Structure 1
Amino acid sequence: MNVVYLLTGANLGNPEKQLKDAMNEITERVGKITKASSIYESEAWGVEDQPIFLNQVLEVISPLSATKILQAIQQIELVLGRIRTQRWGSRTIDIDILYFNNEIIHDPDLQVPHPYIQERNFTLIPLNEIAPNFEHPIFKKTNQQLLMDSKDPLHVKIAKHE
């Protein structure tokens, strides 16, 4: 079995519902969710003029390979209405593979660990909630160390549930 960390995010439609729907689909198509961070609210990263994002990190135990997980999460994004129009733009759902075991994968369609983990507090903060001592296989630093070293100025806070 493989341990994979996934980041889910949404800022269009009903983001809280979409994150919940993504969890259900991940359980169905990828594997068992063993840990889930709180849902965090953050300003958009990359393309700033867009609605606030909700993000969550999930730890999943899966029998699937990294490539099969990528295929499954892309299918989930389609099922949940994702339309890719602009890099880092607004979206109904986004699911990224952050880590896959301790592996380093450099394929044209898949980079693991995710290449921007260390630059994004909206990833590092929920990741630290559930896996602070997990060590980044390239940087040889824990998620906690990466967060302490982060230069991301964007504010991230736990989302208030309505």
Structure 2
Amino acid sequence: MERIYIGMGSNLADPAEQLRSAVDSLTQLPSTALVGVSAFYQSDSLLPGQPRYTNAVAALDSTLAPLELLDALQSIENGQGRERLERWGPRTLDLDILLFGDRLIDEPRLKVPHYHMQERAFVLYPLAELAPEDLRLADGRTLADLLAACPFVGLERLSHA
């Protein structure tokens, strides 16, 4: 089993409910156990004119291969009405593999650690609720270092899942 962290986000169709439904779906994944879910956080969209996002992080223990898990996550997204019309458009649900054990993955469909996560407070602060303080990414950076370089700005902690 490997510890995997999943970033979750939604800014359409009752975002908090979208995340709760996604958590329920994560518990149904084969060869996978849901270990924990962070609080929900709200933040402005990275692009102007979009509704605010609700974000969280889930921790899983799984024996699924990375691309198997990616396919399962995309199936959950599609089941919750995700439409891939534009890269940065609003969405009912976005599920991203942030970290997959201590692996560094560079596949056409999957990059782990997730690109730009080090710049996104809405990823790092929920992740810090679940990950050990001394978590080290495959590239050697620590979560503590990433947090120190990414202030808690523009985030509103809502509640636990």
Aligned 8 A contact 1:41 1:157 in 2 = yes
What secondary structure does 1:28 align onto? coil
Amino acid aligned to 1:29: L
Whichever residue aligns with residue 156 of structure 1, its letter is L
Shift, 1:48, TM fit: 2.5
- Structure 2's unaligned 5+ residue stretches are none
Give, in angstroms, the shift of residue 35 of structure 1.
Answer: 1.6
Could you list the runs of 4 or more consecutive aligned residues of structure 1 that deviate by over 2 angstroms after TM superposition? none
**Distance in structure 2 (CA, Å) of the matches to 1:159 and 1:48:** 22
Tell me the residue number matched to 2:34: 33
Tell me the distance in 2 between the aligned counterparts of 1:26 and 1:105: 21
Root mean square deviation of aligned Cα: 1.6
* TM-score where L is the length of structure 2: 0.92
Shift of residue 141 of structure 1?
2.1
Residue in 2 that maps onto 1:43 = 44
Checking the alignment, whether the CA contact within 8 Å between 2:40 and 2:158 is kept in structure 1 is yes
* 1:97 counterpart SS class: strand
Q: Which runs of 5+ in 1 are unaligned?
A: none
Residues 13-38 of structure 1: CA deviation (Å, up to 9, x unaligned)? 11111101101111112521112110
Alignment correspondent of 1:86: 86
Deviation at 1:116, TM superposition (A): 1.1
SS at match of 1:39: strand
Any conservation in 1 of the 2:39–2:159 contact (CA below 8 Å)?
Answer: no
Cα deviation, 1:113-134, whole Å, max 9, x if unaligned, reads 1011101111011011111321
Q: Who is 1:156 aligned against?
A: 155
CA distance in structure 2 between the aligned counterparts of 1:154 and 1:74, rounded to whole angstroms: 29
| 2:76 matched residue in structure 1 | 76
How many residues get paired? 158
Indicate if the aligned counterparts of 1:124 and 1:147 stay in contact, CA closer than 8 A. Answer: yes
